[in-house]
Chain A
Amino acid sequence: MPGQTIIEKIIQTHSDETVAPGRIVWMELDVRTARDFAGANVVQNFRTHYSNSPVADASKTFFTFDCVVPAKTIPYANNQHICRRWAREQGIKVYDVDAGIGSHVAIEEGLAYPGCTFVGTDSHLNILGAIGAFGQGMGDQDIAFGFKTGKTWFEVPPTMKVMIEGDLRPPCTARDLTLAVLRELGSSGALGRAVEFYGSAIEDLDLSGRITLASQITEMGGIIGFIPPSEEVLAFCRERAGRGMPGVYADPNAEYCEVVEVDITDLEPLIACPPNPANVKPVRELAGTRIDSVFLGSCTNGRFEDFAAVAEVVEGKRIAPWVMASVVPATRKVYARMLQEGVLQALFEAGFIISNPGCGGCASGQIGMTGQGQVQVSTSNRNFRGKQGAGDTYLASPLTAAWAALRGEITVPQ
């Protein structure tokens, strides 16, 4: 009997059926959520099929508004309010427009914890692999069904293993490591698979670095990427969730469909050129490219540590006069800590525009879009044509973005 990988183990503890790659099984959902995108469709599906009946368990059901917060058009406002009113009827808690990005709120509030199963209408919910939890984005019909029954079906994917060789050294960050993996795997290297990450550089990552890496599995075509939780991550999650839980780890004899090694011994800062997140080049090759704007935030690099690193670079200086730079903290908690520890002040004085927490520039251009010919360096996760406007978006680490803002051109961080 072969051992099980992380995803197989998590699904197995939530299913009565035999779990193996390629099998479709029913599984129990510990948490089911909807965000403002598709949330109103979930409500409509629920009403059509289950009329006024209650959800399976309101205490395990949540709304998290993060895409367009607060709503900037009447249709968005209407949709959010449809969710709010229905949530009130059902006794469902809403993390409203002030809370921040749903997947991050889930980790901070302890709604998600290692080994749990968590679904919602956000395609980046697989970010929960950062704490060793199963997270998955789904369509509005699937989520309405999850609200009503507390379960879903899932085709167990094969798992691949990615071994990182070497240690991460400044000025390289978790984002550069993530870009190195993207360069190696390309946009479909993890297609239809779960991924597990190993190596000393992975073990050393703090939670924000783990979130950065896990957030880009979608851009590699993968189902989810697991970073086996460290003691530090477990302690954080236990404290937030208010209960003990073991981490879920793969069996030593688990079976992997492929093992890939990524060597970061001589890693240098990397950047993904438009129009594809997997179009990765050394920052060095683009040094000197004049830029017009910088965006810091998103579910990939919207953590306190990311902004603190930027503040350290720009503190006491001014960004280049022709650069528009904006900052969107992932959550209210991140915002609060930035406020308390002087990070907001440093960024403000350097000339950054500071927004309330949420998806910010990533979804629907809440904090502004790029115009034709505009060159932007962004710490978000996608640079497809049109995604952040009509301009050209380069994806890079907060450090690379900070130096770009300061110099007004793409610069290798020092």
Chain B
Amino acid sequence: MKPTKIRGRIWVLTDPDGKMYDDVDTDMIFHNRHLHITEVAEMGQYALGNLQGWEDFARECQPGDIVIAGANFGAGSSRQQAVDCFRALGVGGLIAESYGAIYKRNAINSGFPILTLPHLSEIAGEFENGDELQVNFETGQLVLNDEKAYQAQPFSKVQADIYQSGNLFAYGKTLGG
């Protein structure tokens, strides 16, 4: 069993004015000039490399860190690298107000934990870089700095199935046939 609860340091994706970024598209997450890369291990260094103010993210991020993002995260193209670059860095999970539809499919298919926290923008000020967050995938409960609790949408059955197997293809093998 893979862990269904994680605890990690957070990164809150804000713009230079301190406002939560919405509509971060896949070119900001993983720029198209790196699209030729197929080795997941090499993708981490470019994560968020094209998002203003986040160019150093890949160097500063530690395995287990958690990324907090605004609405429509991962809008745009269908590139899988925009998910895989976070996996390469060992990012523990991603919490956003909402996702681009294809980004969400790609993240779930590759077993990368993402949760949706509706209305995140209204409480974004309560999260700060470096805070500690506990995340329970099964219940959707988030606890900030051991104090404040929030309710995100828990994993769906589909998401849990694929996450536990590793990815979509590995899950397919558990079905037999």
B137 to chain A, nearest CB (A): 14
Are A155 and B172 neighbours in the complex by a CB distance under 8 Å?
A: no
Q: Which B residues are in CB contact (< 8 Å) with A23?
A: 156
Q: Which A residues are in CB contact (< 8 Å) with B106?
A: 139
Are B172 and A153 neighbours in the complex by a CB distance under 8 Å?
A: no
B68 to chain A, nearest CB (A): 21
B85 within 8 Å of A by Cβ?
A: no
Are A25 and B157 neighbours in the complex by a CB distance under 8 Å?
A: yes
Q: Which A residues are in CB contact (< 8 Å) with B156?
A: 23-25
The chain A residue sitting closest to B155, CB to CB, is A24
The chain A residue sitting closest to B175, CB to CB, is A149
Q: Which B residues are in CB contact (< 8 Å) with A148?
A: 172, 177
Q: Which A residues are in CB contact (< 8 Å) with B104?
A: 155
Are A25 and B168 neighbours in the complex by a CB distance under 8 Å?
A: no
Are B177 and A153 neighbours in the complex by a CB distance under 8 Å?
A: no
Select one of B80, B102, B108 contacting A153, CB under 8 A.
B108
Are A149 and B158 neighbours in the complex by a CB distance under 8 Å?
A: no
The chain B residue sitting closest to A25, CB to CB, is B158
Given A17-B157, A23-B156, A153-B158, the answer on whether A139 and B102 have CB atoms closer than 8 Å is yes
Are B158 and A26 neighbours in the complex by a CB distance under 8 Å?
A: yes
Complex CA distance for A144 and B169, rounded to whole angstroms? 9
Main secondary structure, interface of A, reads mixed
B121 within 8 Å of A by Cβ?
A: no
Q: Which A residues are in CB contact (< 8 Å) with B172?
A: 49-50, 145, 148-149
Complex CA distance for A144 and B173, rounded to whole angstroms? 13
Size of interface on A: residues with Cβ below 8 Å to B: 20
Are A24 and B177 neighbours in the complex by a CB distance under 8 Å?
A: no
A222 to chain B, nearest CB (A): 11
Q: Which A residues are in CB contact (< 8 Å) with B173?
A: 50
A142 within 8 Å of B by Cβ?
A: yes
B78 within 8 Å of A by Cβ?
A: yes
B26 within 8 Å of A by Cβ?
A: no
Q: Which A residues are in CB contact (< 8 Å) with B168?
A: 141-142, 145
Select one of B105, B159, B175 contacting A142, CB under 8 A.
B105
Complex CA distance for A145 and B161, rounded to whole angstroms? 14
A192 within 8 Å of B by Cβ?
A: yes
Select one of A139, A145, A153 contacting B169, CB under 8 A.
A145
B14 within 8 Å of A by Cβ?
A: no
A53 to chain B, nearest CB (A): 8
Q: Which A residues are in CB contact (< 8 Å) with B136?
A: none
A245 within 8 Å of B by Cβ?
A: no
B143-177 vs A, CB cutoff 8 Å, 1 = contact: the mask equals 00000000000001111011000001100110101
Which chain B residues numbered 73 to 116 have a C-beta less than 8 Å away from chain A?
78, 80, 101-102, 104-106, 108-109
A309 within 8 Å of B by Cβ?
A: no
A56 within 8 Å of B by Cβ?
A: yes
Q: Which A residues are in CB contact (< 8 Å) with B105?
A: 138-139, 142
Which chain A residues numbered 1 to 36 have a C-beta less than 8 Å away from chain B?
17, 23-26
Complex CA distance for A341 and B11, rounded to whole angstroms? 67
The chain A residue sitting closest to B162, CB to CB, is A153
Are A49 and B169 neighbours in the complex by a CB distance under 8 Å?
A: yes
The chain A residue sitting closest to B169, CB to CB, is A49
Are A56 and B177 neighbours in the complex by a CB distance under 8 Å?
A: yes
Select one of A24, A56, A138, A192 contacting B159, CB under 8 A.
A24
Q: Which B residues are in CB contact (< 8 Å) with A26?
A: 157-158, 161
Q: Which B residues are in CB contact (< 8 Å) with A24?
A: 108, 156-159
Complex CA distance for A81 and B104, rounded to whole angstroms? 32
Which chain A residues numbered 191 to 206 have a C-beta less than 8 Å away from chain B?
192
Complex CA distance for A141 and B173, rounded to whole angstroms? 14
A43-55 vs B, CB cutoff 8 Å, 1 = contact: the mask equals 0010001100000
Q: Please name the 7 residue pairs, one residue from A and one from B, whose CB atoms are nearest each other, closest first.
A: A24-B156, A49-B169, A153-B158, A24-B158, A149-B172, A148-B172, A145-B168
Interchain Cβ contacts under 8 Å between A and B, 18 examples: A17-B157, A23-B156, A24-B156, A24-B157, A24-B158, A25-B158, A50-B169, A50-B172, A50-B173, A138-B105, A139-B105, A141-B168, A142-B105, A142-B168, A148-B177, A153-B158, A153-B162, A155-B101
Other A-B pairs, 5, CB within 8 Å; known A45-B169, A145-B172, A153-B108: A23-B156, A25-B156, A141-B168, A148-B177, A155-B101
